[in-house]
Structures are given as structure tokens and as C-alpha cells.
Amino acid sequence: MSSVQEVNPRVRGIRDPVNLQNLAAQISQQIAQGEQKAFTKVIDLSSCDPHRTGMPPISFVRQVLSLCCYPELLKEDSFPLDVKQKTQKLLEACNGGSIGENSNPDEMMIRLLSREDGQDGVLAPLPCPHTLPMLLDEVGVKLVPYRLTEERGWALDMEELHRALMTARRQCDPRAIYVSNPGNPTGHVQDRETIEKIIHFAASERLVLLVEEVYQGSVFGQDKKFLSYKKVLFEMGVSYSETVEMVSFHSISTATMGECGLRGGYMELINLDPAVKKFLFHAPCSPSILPQLAMEIMVNPPAPGDASYEKYTQEILLRAETLSQNAGRACKLLNSLPGMSCQPAMGGVFLYPRLHLPAEIIEEAKMLRLSADVLYCRRLLEEEGICLGPGCENGHNDENFHIRLCVLAPPAVLEDVLTRLCSFHRHLLNRPD
């Protein structure tokens, strides 16, 4: 395997798979204009946006944001008392008592890792979050892949981590390691032993530890629970807790709230140089205030005894039950298909099944200068109106083709998607039964 492929796992000469989103929009427009299709609408389960699939938003969040946008609604009797109290507290924290005021957010941490020579790298899991490769390309940082072990439920192997680091150091300067827990898109949930090993690895190799923990509230695997890297780090003693540089990321675009359109998140900085913190806190950027308000609601939700607590809790539990049941149902069905295998997810919102495609499909994709998983997803979209994510968006560029399927959707919607997916897949493989 060439060193170039190791450091930057991109498919050379392959058309950008993001065009699937454009194709989905075109097909939707054709349907709206009266063109006849075998389906009546396009269903997009390629991303983690549950509202797009029909999952209702959390009532408390939308109620508070509505009152923040139009404070005159505070005079209405139809809103619970704690909604009004939360709104008043948030407005009081805004300059002038209005959400129209700007505020200073944190700049993306990843930009600090990029120097002008373009020789900096970040160790990242393969598969990785589908937005990460584009982000690293944008800031001029090389993606250094360490491959997760699919046969072990996408677990991390420490020997593979060391191998990736040694290979990368022959051509770039790895400065950080990126970890996704629960795994995005794999759904793997790391145990304490694994977390301790990764922290030790980061400490011994002097790497900044970048931890994406956005699906921490969506762990549903049997006997699995979420452990934060910060908690484990501080339980490893001062030799680690006071020296390891770590950044933890969380977001309101996750399974609990699913407010993807607001694009809000935060990061917690641990043991970083004060000069770095000063730079981040004074970055010349002013995001919309609404995502920041939604973030405050996420970290301080209704408490027991509050008027909205029972309804809020019921909505969260319903979403968690739907996610768990959907993941189990979809995984079982996908594994029953010929030419497809799927590792059970323990958390997160995605399944990441592997496609075992016939040689003629792979050859056809090569002739079209497409990755075979892109061709698969494109045909699925054109023939069945289902938009899924191809694995090459998550860094895969070898013969192990995958697709990305969000299972946080209303059960009826997911069932429709699975029915159409199974029909398409069997037809593609000439296996009608």
C-alpha cells in the first residue's frame, strides 16, 4: 500500500459523492413538477437529521426558542411556567435583552493544528465522520487513518494505531488523534480499558486528544454505557489529568435534540496552553445566538418538579426507544440479505453495513469513474427514491464497500426505506427471493 494512500485515504479520480444530495434535490423537484416515478417522494437517511425524516422536535426546546424570538408570547397562558422562566433567564443574559445581539464563539480547534508548510496530520478512525475529511482538507491538515476492526464491531486496535502513527511520521507531522465515541458512523461504544489505552497513547506520543462525544446520550447496546474521556482521564491520576491536552466536542445536532439546522456545539478545553485558549475565545467570528440558546437548554434541561419535566422526559425516552428498536430491526434485516453484512450498533444513530458486490458492478463503477458504493447509492436513489451515504464519504476507498444509514426515523418511515432497499438490493444481485 502506498504511503500517499495511507496518509490521505481519498479515492483518486472519483467523482464527489456529495452530488447524491444534488441528485436527490433534482428528483424531488421532478416529482413536484408532476413527473411520474416509482415512488412519491425522496427519503434521505444519509445524515443524522431526524427532523428531516419526520421525527418531531423536543417541545421544550422549540417553546423556549419561540419565546426568545418573540418575547410578546411570554404574556400567553398556554406556555408552561418553566418555559417562561427559562426564556427570561436566557434573555437577561443577552445584551439589551434581545437575541439580536452578537456573541463571540469558539473557533474550530482543528485550525490551530494547521501550519503554513502543510505537513501537519491528524490521526483519525477509518471509517470516520463523513464531514471530517472535508474539514481537514479545508484547513490543510492531512488525515492519517487508523483502521477500525469491522469483525470486532468496529473496535480500535492499539497495534493498528501505532502502525498508522509510524507510517505517517515518514511523511508528515501528526499532531493530534481524533476519536469518535460512540463511533460515528460505526456505533461502537468504547470501554474504560480502551479509553485508558488511548489516553496513554496520546500522552506518550505527545498528541492532542480530540474527542467527539456528540452521541453520548444515545447508547443503547446491552450492558453498554457511555464513559466520558474527561472522567476517565481524571481518574488516571495527576500524571495524566494535569498533562494530557484534550478537547471534547458536543453538539445540539445529536440524537437527543436533533437540532441539525441550528448548527450549534461546544468544546471543553483541558490542559491547553492559556495562549491557545485566549486565541480561541477572541476568534473573529460571531455565530447566530439561537444555537447558543439551544445549547444552554441541552446542558440545563427541565429538572424534576418543573412543569415541563414529565413531557420532556417522555419525549426523550420515546426517541431513545425508537432509536434502539430501529437499530435492532434494521440490523437484523440487513444481515438477512445476500451480499450484505452489518455489525450491530451500540450507540449513535447510524448503521454502517458492508456491501459484497458482484464483480460486474465494481467494473461498471470503475468505467464510470465512480466508487462502487456511490454507484450503488445513486441507483438506489434513482430507482427507489432512497438517499443513503456511500462509505467513501467516511474515508473508505478500498474494495470493502459500505453504506451509511441513519436509523433515527419514525418506524413507519424506516420500514418503508428497508422494504425498498431490500427490493433494490435483491434485484441488483439478481436474487429475487
DSSP labels for 201-266? HHHHHT-EEEEE-TTTT-B-STT-----HHHHHHTS-HHHHTT--EEEEEETTSTTT--GGG--EE
Check whether residue 216 and residue 259 sit in a common domain.
yes
Does residue 89 sit within a domain?
no
382 vs 16, 81, 354, 377, 378, CA distance in Å? 17, 49, 21, 9, 6
Highest mean pLDDT among 6-15, 254-263, 282-291: 254-263
Interstrand relation of 208-212 and 173-180 (parallel, antiparallel or unpaired)? parallel
CB 146 within 8 A of CB 229: no
Q: Which residue has the cell 475565545?
A: 281
pLDDT of 233 reads: 97
Query: Where on the phi/psi map is residue 79: left (φ > 0), alpha (ψ -120 to 50), or beta?
Result: beta
CB 51 within 8 A of CB 258: yes
Q: What is the CATH number of the domain that holds 322?
A: 3.90.1150.10
Model-wide pTM > 0.85: yes
Q: Mean pLDDT check: name the lowest of 130-134, 152-156, 243-247, 276-280.
A: 276-280
Check whether residue 130 and residue 50 sit in a common domain.
no
Instruction: Identify the three-state secondary structure at position 43.
Output: strand
Interstrand relation of 350-351 and 120-126 (parallel, antiparallel or unpaired)? unpaired
Among residues 298, 325, 341, the one where a domain terminates is 298
Check whether residue 155 and residue 228 sit in a common domain.
yes
Does residue 306 sit within a domain?
no
- For 22-28, what is the mean pLDDT? 92
3-state helix, strand and coil shares in percent for the chain, rounded to the nearest 5: 45, 15, 40
Q: Give the range of the structural domain holding residue 243, as residue numbers without chain letter.
A: 109-298
Cα separation, 211 vs 321, in Å, equals 26
- Does position 390 have pLDDT exceeding 70, yes or no? yes
Cα separation, 179 vs 166, in Å, equals 18
pLDDT of 294 reads: 87
Check whether residue 118 and residue 218 sit in a common domain.
yes
Instruction: Identify the three-state secondary structure at position 319.
Output: helix
What is the DSSP track for 164-190? HHHHHTTTSEEEEEEEESS-TTT----
CB 328 within 8 A of CB 382: no
Q: Which residue has the cell 444515545?
A: 218
pLDDT of 134 reads: 86
Grid cell at residue 207: 498528541
CB 226 within 8 A of CB 216: yes
pLDDT of 181 reads: 96
Cα separation, 76 vs 138, in Å, equals 47
Does residue 324 sit within a domain?
yes
Per-residue pLDDT band for 102 (boundaries 50, 70, 90) equals very low
Cα separation, 202 vs 177, in Å, equals 7
Q: What is the CATH number of the domain that holds 261?
A: 3.40.640.10
Q: What percent of the chain has pLDDT over 90?
A: 67
CB 272 within 8 A of CB 248: no
CB 348 within 8 A of CB 187: yes
The per-residue pLDDT of the chain, averaged, comes to 87
Q: Count of CB atoms within 10 A of residue 264's CB? A: 24
Check whether residue 150 and residue 246 sit in a common domain.
yes
Does residue 74 sit within a domain?
no
198 vs 100, 166, 169, 246, 333, CA distance in Å? 43, 16, 18, 12, 34
- For 288-300, what is the mean pLDDT? 86
Kindly tell me the sign of the dihedral angle through the C-alpha atoms of 32, 35, 39, 45.
negative
Grid cell at residue 302: 427541565
For the segment 316-349, what is each residue's pLDDT rounded down to a tens digit?
999 999 999 999 999 999 999 999 999 999 999 9
pLDDT of 10 reads: 39
Check whether residue 229 and residue 187 sit in a common domain.
yes
Q: Count of CB atoms within 10 A of residue 344's CB? A: 15
Per-residue pLDDT band for 382 (boundaries 50, 70, 90) equals very high
**Rg of the chain taking only CA atoms, in angstroms:** 23
Q: What percent of the chain has pLDDT over 70?
A: 87
Cα separation, 252 vs 272, in Å, equals 24
Check whether residue 10 and residue 138 sit in a common domain.
no
For the segment 79-97, what is each residue's pLDDT rounded down to a tens digit?
999 999 999 999 888 776 7
Does residue 304 sit within a domain?
no
Per-residue pLDDT band for 285 (boundaries 50, 70, 90) equals low
Cα separation, 230 vs 83, in Å, equals 31
Residue of 11, 24, 10 lying closest to 389 (CA atoms): 24
Q: Which residue has the cell 458536543?
A: 250
Number of domains in the chain: 2
pLDDT of 113 reads: 65
Among residues 239, 269, 298, the one where a domain terminates is 298
Cα separation, 167 vs 157, in Å, equals 16
Check whether residue 256 and residue 336 sit in a common domain.
no
Check whether residue 187 and residue 286 sit in a common domain.
yes
Residue of 410, 340, 418 lying closest to 384 (CA atoms): 418
